[in-house]
Structure 1
Amino acid sequence: MIRSMTGFGEASTQVDGAHYFVEIRSLNNKYFKAVIRLPDDCQGLDAEMESGLRGRLSRGTVTLTASCTDASEQAAYRVNQAALETYIQQLQHVPSVAEGKVGLDVGSLLDLPGVLQVPTDESRHERVSGIFLDLLGKACTVLIEMREREGAVLLEDLLHQRDLIMDRLGRIRERAPIVIDEYERRLRSRIEKLMGEADVDPVDLIREIAVYA
């Protein structure tokens, strides 16, 4: 079966208030190359996702994009109180802050490195991994079906082009003897005309014709 190298597939699901989504795109490439784009808190899943892709797709540049929108309480970022207090203590030594000329903005403090942390939950990691791998399989199925449909169109076009070529070759085979006869008649007529107009040695003329042919 002929399959196109380009394709697209996606799959999504809703689990415990969280929306999971996986999109896969493939482009022409003689070899397999995976580009994995995961949420920040799922970077450890890169190897598993690439392995899943390799199990279904053998060639092409394959780009996988996964996302998770989780509004549940369990997904909320944790405030690193120790880091936040350290920042506040350091800022209080700044003269403009100590004198009350500049206030501390909590929103800005939360943007500082290390203040907000992604909750670490091994069971959640395994659950998310399973969900993404399941969606990967479904998206790959959609992508492969698209490749097969495009491959069928390519095959139909190739067969059509083959039929055209075979038809042209058949016409050439039919015309070849006729063309040779027509060329021979025209050449003979031309030679007879030249022989009548000039004093040409027939042996020399035949030699020249052979060289020309």
Structure 2
Amino acid sequence: MIKSMTGYGRGEAVGSGQQVTVEVKAVNHRYSEVVVRIPRTYMSLEEAIKKQFQKGVSRGRVDVFVNIEQLGEVNGKVKVDKNLALQYYQSLKELAEELSLPSDFSVHQFINLPEVITLTEEEEDLEALSELASKAAQKALDSLLSMRINEGTVLYEDLLNRIELIKDLTEKIKERAPLLVGEYRQKLQERLKEYLDQIPVDEQRVAIEVALFADRVSITEELVRLWSHLEQFEKALNLKEPVGRKLDFIIQEMNREVNTIGSKANDLEISRHVVNFKSELEKIREQVQNVE
């Protein structure tokens, strides 16, 4: 069953004091393109997430948005640089003596001195975070694929209905085509009688002219190929693998055949069917642009 290229998905995973949220949006694209947007701090997780979506989506542009949120308090450690504090103390003491100022210092005064006291956060467990991100990404991917399958079902029904309309038009063209030669023979004989009046009509010459006309307007081969393309299109709709490009190619071939039919037949009724055929074919082409 075919799948649509458009869709949206969302997934969350919580653990180790963190919550990972992954949102994904997919739109039409000629090829497969996955773009992951993730906070710079966690860029190391980008490639794994990208590959995860590339395995599930074979065609279309997929934008993946990853958000990582800390839950609760962040554990950290206070670090005191005693050597640096001592250097500050010695320098300040020498400055006080040189300026004849009191050199009474308290510990509190060292708190605001640069880099004497620093707070360092505990290192994150990137392996655990990677697992969380993978779970959230898979949920988002499953949600996206579900939506693409549902939209694909709607596309499938619409395409089948339009193919049936085209089949009906093809049958009408097929029924009309054999009548062209007989009508041409009759018109040719009527014109000859009108212009030649009393002169007998050369039936052999008429037969040659009609044969040439029949060869010129014959659309049998085009109709055979056209019907074959229609059958291929229906079969492709039921394949499990992505068929968007294949369907697009078949449509191009059908369009080529029906254009040839229109130019060769030189008949008002067939021309009307060809116009309707091309109108439906264009609607099918637009829908196929959404197929993976």
**Contact 2:5/2:26 (CA < 8 Å) preserved in 1?**
yes
User: Cα–Cα, structure 1 residues 194 and 119, in superposed 2: closer, same or farther, change >3 Å?
Assistant: farther
In the alignment, the residues of structure 1 paired with residue 154 and residue 121 of structure 2 have an alpha-carbon distance, to the nearest angstrom, of 49
Matched, 1:74 2:74: yes
Q: Which runs of 4+ in 1 moved over 6 A?
A: 78-82
Using the aligned pairs only, state the percent identity: 28
Matched, 1:121 2:119: no
User: Cα–Cα, structure 1 residues 81 and 11, in superposed 2: closer, same or farther, change >3 Å?
Assistant: farther
- Partner of 1:121, secondary structure, is coil
**Contact 1:21/1:135 (CA < 8 Å) preserved in 2?**
yes
User: Cα–Cα, structure 1 residues 73 and 187, in superposed 2: closer, same or farther, change >3 Å?
Assistant: same
- 1:1-213 to structure 2, matched below 5 A, reads 1-13=1-13, 15=15, 18-70=18-70, 72-74=72-74, 119=121, 121-123=123-125, 125-196=126-197, 202=202, 206=206, 209=209, 213=213
- Partner of 1:154, secondary structure, is helix
In the alignment, the residues of structure 1 paired with residue 36 and residue 79 of structure 2 have an alpha-carbon distance, to the nearest angstrom, of 29
- Partner of 1:74, secondary structure, is coil
What is aligned with 2:235?
none
- Give the count of matched residue pairs: 179
In the alignment, the residues of structure 1 paired with residue 208 and residue 134 of structure 2 have an alpha-carbon distance, to the nearest angstrom, of 78
Which amino acid in structure 2 is aligned with residue 171 of structure 1? K
In the alignment, the residues of structure 2 paired with residue 25 and residue 193 of structure 1 have an alpha-carbon distance, to the nearest angstrom, of 72
In the alignment, the residues of structure 2 paired with residue 79 and residue 24 of structure 1 have an alpha-carbon distance, to the nearest angstrom, of 40
**Contact 2:36/2:49 (CA < 8 Å) preserved in 1?**
yes
The CA deviation string for residues 162-204 of structure 1, in whole angstroms up to 9 with x for no partner, is: 211211122222223334333322222122101128x79959x
Gaps of 5+ in 1: 90-115
Gaps of 5+ in 2: 89-117, 214-292
Which amino acid in structure 2 is aligned with residue 72 of structure 1? G
User: Cα–Cα, structure 1 residues 51 and 212, in superposed 2: closer, same or farther, change >3 Å?
Assistant: closer
- Partner of 2:186, secondary structure, is helix
**Contact 2:34/2:62 (CA < 8 Å) preserved in 1?**
yes
**Contact 1:41/1:118 (CA < 8 Å) preserved in 2?**
no
Q: Which moved more, 1:180-189 or 1:133-142?
A: 180-189
Which amino acid in structure 1 is aligned with residue 144 of structure 2? L
**What is the TM-score of this pair, normalised by structure 1?**
0.66
**What is the TM-score of this pair, normalised by structure 2?**
0.50
User: Cα–Cα, structure 1 residues 180 and 80, in superposed 2: closer, same or farther, change >3 Å?
Assistant: farther
The CA deviation string for residues 74-112 of structure 1, in whole angstroms up to 9 with x for no partner, is: 179x99998xx9xxx9xxxxxxxxxxxxxxxxxxxxxxx
Give the CA RMSD over aligned residues. 3.8
In the alignment, the residues of structure 1 paired with residue 58 and residue 127 of structure 2 have an alpha-carbon distance, to the nearest angstrom, of 26
- Partner of 1:166, secondary structure, is helix
In the alignment, the residues of structure 1 paired with residue 120 and residue 52 of structure 2 have an alpha-carbon distance, to the nearest angstrom, of 25
What is aligned with 2:218?
none
- Partner of 2:197, secondary structure, is helix
In the alignment, the residues of structure 1 paired with residue 78 and residue 66 of structure 2 have an alpha-carbon distance, to the nearest angstrom, of 26
**Contact 2:7/2:26 (CA < 8 Å) preserved in 1?**
yes
The CA deviation string for residues 115-142 of structure 1, in whole angstroms up to 9 with x for no partner, is: x99845242x233222211111011011
The CA deviation string for residues 50-71 of structure 1, in whole angstroms up to 9 with x for no partner, is: 2222332233322211112335
